[in-house]
Structures are given as C-alpha cells and as structure tokens.
Amino acid sequence: MVRATALGAAARTLRRGLGFSGGGRSPSSRLFGIAAAIGAITGVRSLVVPATFGRHHAARGVFDGAPLSASLLRLAAAGEMLMDKLPGLPARTRPLPLTGRVVIAAACAQLIARQHRTAPWQPMALAGGVAAFTAWAATTLRRSFAADDGGRSAALGLLEDALVTTAADRLGAAIARRHDGG
C-alpha cells in the first residue's frame, strides 16, 4: 500500500514536470516535477537532457555558439545510445558513470531552478537522487532480461532510447512553455 502510494505520487510529479497534467499547479510543484523528469531521463541516458537543453537554447539564440554546441551535444547523445548497445561497456551503476549521471542531472536542474529564480539545492538533490535511482532500476531491469538474452537486451536498449527521447522532447516543450510564459 505504501509502495503504491509512493509510486503514484512519483508518477504525478513526473507528469506535472513533463506537462501532462493541467490545472493549477504551483511553481514549486512544476519545478520539482521538471527536476524529477531530468533525473529520470539522465539516469537512463546521461546526455539526452543536455542535448535537449542545447537544442532549446540554440533555437532561442541564448548564447553565441549555441547551434554548434547543440549539434555536438546531440551527436554525443546519439553516440551514447549507440555505445549502450555494444558489449563490454561498464554498467551505468559503476561509480564513475553513476557520478557523471548524478552531476549532469544536478547541473541541469540548477539551470532550471535559476530560470524559476529559486534556490537550486532542492531541485539539484532531487534530480541527482532520481538519476541514481533510475540508473539502478534500468540496470536491474536490463540485467534481468540479459540473463537468457536472445537479443532482448538490445531490444530493451532501443525501447529505453525511444522512451527517453520522447520524455526529453516533452521536457523541452515544458521548459519552452515556462520560458515563453505559458
């Protein structure tokens, strides 16, 4: 019962962050939803959120060099997705990859907190914690399918890619609505 309630609350927070739920949500609720979404996406694919942010900033001309930076980030994210399918890559829960995911998620959450003009520590902690949990959950799921592989692990990797890119697109749209005042 407690687990179902916690999972329901987490799902509602993610839906709010990704802009799926309408109505009168508070700015802090929306910020924490976005931070949780950042963590969830980054836990599975570490470079997709920075690539989404790069594309978002390039479209708005936020800083010089943004189109090149955005292209390089998208290329790096695509490379990560390709490398994920190859054998011999260390698990995302090893200390170095996990630390990278937590740091990337926290840094992206800090950028969003600055846009919301609020203290960044809680969104950063939330995004980092969700990234660590999601990395663990995705690795556990992937290993359970890899036990008697038969190609299912690579198929699950493709499914992860599709889910993550869709979620990142929704996240980018939610951020754009906030940036544009919507």
What is the band of 104 on the pLDDT scale with cuts at 50, 70, 90?
A: very high
> What does the pLDDT look like over 42-51, one tens digit per residue?
999 999 999 8
Report the C-alpha dihedral over residues 53, 87, 139, 105, rounded to 10 degrees.
-20
Q: Domain segments of the chain: what residues? A: 25-179
> What does the pLDDT look like over 121-143, one tens digit per residue?
999 999 999 999 999 998 888 77
Other beta carbons within 10 Å of 151: 8
Q: What is the pTM assigned to this prediction?
A: 0.77
Beta-carbon contacts of residue 134 (< 8 Å; ≥ 6 apart): 39, 40, 41, 42, 43, 44
Averaged pLDDT for residues 9-24: 54
